[in-house]
Amino acid sequence: MKKYLVLGILFILPITVYIFFAMSTNYFKPLPILTESVQELDGFKTLEGEPVQLKGRITVLGFFGSDLEVHRAYAYNLAHKIYTKNHSFNEFQFVILLPEGTEDQARNVSEKLEQIAPLDSWFFAFGSKENIHNVFSSLQSNLSLDSNLSTPFVFIVDKEGSLRGRKEDEEVGVMYGFDSSIIAEINNKMSDDVKVLLAEYRRALKKYDVDREI
């Protein structure tokens, strides 16, 4: 009797596991859209003087203000916990908006970040105070910038220019951004949400048989 029981378990268990994962795939839940049409980054330039844009890229968007040196720990946290895991994916980028005149600070921080990972997909972008306010306002979040145009919160913007986040986070309810000063939050919640969004686009590529990597 025991022999048949063991054989039955060995036969049924793989089928059960297969059905479970098949159902998980069929009912894949994408990361919710919280705000559509985040303002494009017109007028912003990188340290190399190149334009940068949201459209067509999965973007982690940050606002670290006029005193970047004080807040550089935000950048280090993100580089260690999020950027190093994902920067090799095509169409994925970090964009940190800073006011014009902070270029030297950005160069200093960039030198430190390059010790963590290549900055091929990390951009400090500079623009006017008005443009920074306009982009931040277009997120339509419940957060705000301080007097230095800074916030520790960073945001996930998809390739269509929509803000993604959580509508029913167990702690804060609607979650527009992730606090980069809190290691646990970016290492758990933000890391998970970036994975979900990347998986969403991978599924779309497979559906249409597009032979390229995100």
Phi, psi of 195 (to 5 degrees): -60, -45
Radius of gyration of the chain (CA): 20
CB-neighbour burial class of residue 48 (10 A; exposed 0-12, middle 13-18, buried 19+): exposed
The Cα 199–Cα 85 span in angstroms is 14
The Cα 38–Cα 133 span in angstroms is 12
Cα–Cα distances in Å, from 116 out to 81, 151, 187?
11, 23, 16
The Cα 74–Cα 122 span in angstroms is 14
Domains of the chain, CATH where assigned? 33-207 (3.40.30.10)
| pTM of the predicted model as reported, rounded to 2 decimal places | 0.84
Return the SS3 of 174. strand
Phi, psi of 13 (to 5 degrees): -60, -50
Structure confidence at residue 74 (pLDDT): 94
The Cα 170–Cα 191 span in angstroms is 16
Digit-by-digit pLDDT tens for the chain (214 residues) are 555 555 555 556 555 544 444 444 444 588 999 999 999 999 999 999 999 999 999 999 999 999 998 889 999 999 999 999 999 888 999 999 999 999 999 999 999 999 999 999 999 999 999 999 999 999 999 999 999 999 999 999 999 999 999 999 999 999 999 999 999 999 999 999 999 999 998 887 665 555 555 5
Structure confidence at residue 25 (pLDDT): 42
Pairing of strands 92-99, 122-127: parallel
Q: What tokens appear for 206 in the block?
A: 């497979």
Phi, psi of 200 (to 5 degrees): -60, -45
62 - beta bridge partners?
96, 154
